[in-house]
Amino acid sequence: MIISPLTCAALLSDYSEDWQAATVHPFLEQCQQGSIKPEQFNTWLVQDALFVVEFTRMAARLLAVAPTEHFDTLLGGLGAIKDELLWFQTKADERSLNLLTSPQPTCEKYCEFMQGLANQSYAVQAIAFWAIELAYNQGWQRHSPMAEPYAEFADRWGNAGFTEYVKVLEQQADRALMTASEDERSQAREAFLTVARLEKDFWQMAFSA
Ligand code: HMH
């Protein structure tokens, strides 16, 4: 029997075009140039704050099914998310934006996808979690340095420490995939592609505002 390995690196190379579309977008290009319109940026900011609330719950569910040796990295990630939730509130206050608002359909779809992962194995959840973090790490990094006032946003996900964290998430996801069934591997592929599509749609949602 030939065992076909699946790794995060293989997903990135198998679906490089999808990944490119998830991490390179006019929204980010115009943040870099400083030409993005405030209502476009503010739409992203509010919707992403709503996204991160649901992402926090996804992180908690991931921790709940993770092997003990993966706790340290995931708890560090949850600590960063705690900081991020407060930071989003501060950024919203600075711009007089109300975060108690409804998600747009694209944001809602992304949140539903994350909720649905609750029924999936640790390996599938770990792949999705890594892909979500990598999308922002690479998306913001590829468009750095950014014009003010966007530099701190680019740095939040593009900084070297976050890059290291995402690399450890990749190792943990790869480790989980080593013992995954064929079914789980195909669900992991599916989850990766869904993240890529939803990331592209999320930029487009803000850009179209
Ligand atoms: C849409 N994807 C989106 N928002 C985020 N904050 C991240 C990924 C990274 O956490």
pTM to 2 decimals? 0.97
Does 121 fall in a domain? yes
Print the domain residue range for 89: 8-207
Q: Residue 14: its pLDDT value, please?
A: 96
**Which whole number is the average pLDDT over 18-30?**
98
Which residue has tokens 């996808």?
113
Q: How many angstroms separate the CA atoms of 166 and 75, rounded?
A: 13
- Give percent of the chain with pLDDT exceeding 70: 98
pLDDT higher than 90, residue 49: yes
Both tokens of 55, joined, read: 């992402």
Structurally, how many domains does the chain consist of?
1
Q: How many angstroms separate the CA atoms of 18 and 196, rounded?
A: 6
pLDDT higher than 70, residue 4: no
Tell me which DSSP letter residue 68 carries.
G
**Which whole number is the average pLDDT over 9-28?**
98
**In this predicted model, what pLDDT tens digit does every residue of 96-153 receive, in sequence order?**
999 999 999 999 999 999 999 999 999 999 999 999 999 999 999 999 999 999 999 9
Tell me the DSSP string of 9-58. HHHHHHTHHHHHHHH--HHHHHHHHT-S-HHHHHHHHHHHHHHHHHHHHH
Q: Residue 5: its pLDDT value, please?
A: 81
CA 137 / ligand 1 centre spacing (Å): 9
Does 161 fall in a domain? yes
Does 147 fall in a domain? yes
Residues 123 and 184 sit within 8 Å (Cβ to Cβ): yes
Which residue has tokens 């195909």?
186
Does 3 fall in a domain? no
pLDDT higher than 80, residue 64: yes
Active site residue 199: yes
Does 1 fall in a domain? no
- Any known ligand binding at 164? no
Both tokens of 111, joined, read: 């949140």
Residues 72 and 172 sit within 8 Å (Cβ to Cβ): no
* Atom in ligand 1 nearest the alpha carbon of residue 48: 4
- Any known ligand binding at 184? no
Supply the CATH number for residue 191's domain: 1.20.910.10
Does 2 fall in a domain? no
**Which whole number is the average pLDDT over 56-65?**
98
Ligand 1 cavity residues, CB under 6 Å: 48, 51-52, 55, 132-133, 135-136, 199, 202
| Cis ω for the linkage preceding 38 (within 30 of 0) | no
Mutate to test the pocket of ligand 1, among 45, 50, 55, 166 (most ligand atoms within 8 A of CB): 55
CA 2 / ligand 1 centre spacing (Å): 36
Does 148 fall in a domain? yes
Does 181 fall in a domain? yes
Q: Residue 3: its pLDDT value, please?
A: 60
CA 175 / ligand 1 centre spacing (Å): 23
**In this predicted model, what pLDDT tens digit does every residue of 154-185 receive, in sequence order?**
999 999 999 999 999 999 999 999 999 999 99
